[in-house]
Amino acid sequence: MKTEIAGITRANEGIQGISWSILGQTYVPKNVTEHSFSWHATLPPETFVPPHIHPDQDEYLYILEGQLDFLLDSAEMQASPGDLVRLPMGKPHGIFNKSGRTAKTLFWVSPTRRLYDLFWAIHNMKEQKPDAVVALAAEHNIHFLPPPPGA
């Protein structure tokens, strides 16, 4: 785990120059300690993060650009620039870009747990096949939910 160092992580840069490709989205880590982990995400149109649960992390998104749709504990919601989305630990949630435009957001989780390691592992996969990503996520205590009937 990284140690907090005073400083600035510049716009369009990740810590140590890191940029991950995660299921068609670009994640750029901004800061990581054992207490919290933040990253900038670029979500092209029609990309999504399937419904899943973080049993031991709170997750937040601050919408910077574009519009995102959410499934939060079975309720559908929408967020636009300036909105803060709160995804409490243990509550199922999914994130969808149905807007037809690129969306950008600042994500963070607290505490970090193994999410930083999971993103590295997904980024380093030869092929990011859904079944393999779901299994890898479960090993890092992030649990994807089965698709709804008929999906």
**Identity of residue 97:** N
Q: What is the average pLDDT across 8-34?
A: 93
Long-range contacts of 4-12 (CB under 8 A, 24+ apart): 4/31, 4/33
| Residue 46 backbone zone (phi > 0: left; psi -120 to 50: alpha; other: beta) | left
pTM of the model: 0.92
Asked if pLDDT for residue 138 goes beyond 70, the answer is: yes
Report the pLDDT value the prediction gives residue 25, as an integer from 0 to 100. Answer: 97
Domain residue ranges of the chain, discontinuous segments joined by +:
15-113
| 15-113 fold | Jelly Rolls (2.60.120)
